[in-house]
């Protein structure tokens, strides 16, 4: 094989190696981007339903309030399932605690018991938020 043939072969091998490395790195980068976006969407939906649940619980007890609480509770459970698929154990544990806190809000009557349950739900949201920020490397 002469020098030009060797140079062509080396260029082809180098090009193939570059293509493989670029594809691998690009694929990992794209996967990380997708995961970050999916986590962000799941966290936002989960926390938004938590806020709506707490807001609905602040009104007078009525059939409409019970329906709103049930709907938001179900939404939180669905979003928690997404978090179970995408997030780590710390996030899932905090999310489960928040869902239990909201269940306590639903089961509490009006008055001081419900107010205390709403405080626990608020604390639970802060715990979920901190776990989410840690998982996503935001602090």
Question: Scanning the structure block, which residue is given the tokens 């979003």?
Answer: 79
Say yes or no to pLDDT of 10 above 80: no
pLDDT digits (tens, 9 = 90+) for 67-91: 889 999 999 999 999 999 999 999 9
| Structural domains in the chain plus CATH codes | 37-135 (1.20.120)
CA 78 to each of CA 72, 88, 118: distance values in angstroms, whole numbers, following the listed order: 10, 17, 21
The pLDDT assigned to 54 comes to 94
From 105, 129, 127, select the one nearest 117 (Cα to Cα): 105
The pLDDT assigned to 85 comes to 92
pLDDT digits (tens, 9 = 90+) for 13-71: 777 666 666 666 566 678 788 888 999 999 999 999 999 999 999 877 788 888 889 99
The pLDDT assigned to 92 comes to 96
More confident residue, 23 or 113: 113
Say which DSSP state 58 is in. T
Report the 10 Å Cβ neighbour count for 115.
13
From 41, 60, 35, select the one nearest 114 (Cα to Cα): 60
Question: Scanning the structure block, which residue is given the tokens 């154990």?
Answer: 89
More confident residue, 103 or 139: 103
Residues 6+ apart with CB under 8 A from 56: 65, 68, 69, 72
More confident residue, 23 or 92: 92
The pLDDT assigned to 42 comes to 94
Taking a C-beta distance cutoff of 8 angstroms, is the pair 94, 127 a contact? yes
């Amino acid at each position: 094989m002469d020098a030009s043939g060797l140079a062509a072969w080396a260029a082809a091998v180098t090009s193939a190696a570059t293509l493989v490395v670029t594809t691998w790195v690009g694929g990992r980068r794209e996967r990380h981007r997708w995961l970050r976006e999916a986590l962000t969407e799941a966290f936002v939906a989960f926390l938004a339903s938590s806020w709506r649940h707490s807001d609905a619980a602040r009104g007078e007890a009525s059939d409409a309030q019970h329906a709103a609480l049930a709907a938001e509770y179900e939404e939180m459970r669905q979003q928690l399932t997404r978090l179970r698929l995408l997030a780590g154990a710390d996030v899932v544990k905090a999310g489960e605690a928040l869902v239990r806190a909201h269940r306590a809000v639903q089961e509490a009557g009006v008055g001081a018991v419900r107010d205390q349950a709403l405080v626990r739900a608020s604390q639970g949201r802060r715990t979920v938020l901190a776990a989410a920020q840690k998982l996503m490397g935001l602090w």
